[in-house]
Amino acid sequence: MDRDDKRLTPEEQKAVAKQELQQAIEERVSDFKHVFESGPGQRVYKYLSQFCFEKESTFNAGSQSTSDFNEGSRFVILEIRKWLDFDLTKGAKL
């Protein structure tokens, strides 16, 4: 039966939402791994890692706005790394 064909109890709605979220997480992990674990993807990741300050300080003593910009760049590479390292066997905290 289609989800819209009947009224779901709050518990059923929560279970459906949890299942949809889990599926979305699994797809996102798969997508990131597909993109960044290929040969070209690894090269792009290596470039982004250096460009986005993954393993170095974002601080710029002469300019707070430069530090802020650098930190924003770093956030991007850390987000990519988070999805590449995500362990689906542990599941998401839903």
Domain membership flag for residue 68: yes
Phi-psi domain of 53 (left: phi exceeds 0; alpha: psi -120 through 50; beta: other): left
Asked if residue 76 belongs to a domain, the reply is: yes
Residue 5 banded pLDDT, cuts 50, 70, 90: low
The answer to the question of residue 70 being in a domain is yes
Residue 29 maps to a domain: no
Read off the pLDDT of residues 16-65 as tens digits, 9 standing for 90 and up. 999 999 999 999 999 999 999 999 999 999 999 999 999 999 999 999 99
| Residue at 69 is within a domain | yes
Q: Report d(CA 62, CA 77) in Å as an integer.
A: 24
Residue 71 lies in a domain: yes
23: in domain: no
Q: What is the tally of structural domains in the chain?
A: 1
Q: 31 in a domain, yes or no?
A: no
Tell whether the model's pLDDT for residue 1 goes beyond 50: no
Domain holding 78, by residue range, is: 62-86
Q: How far apart are CA 94 and CA 18, in angstroms?
A: 7
Q: How many residues does the chain have?
A: 94
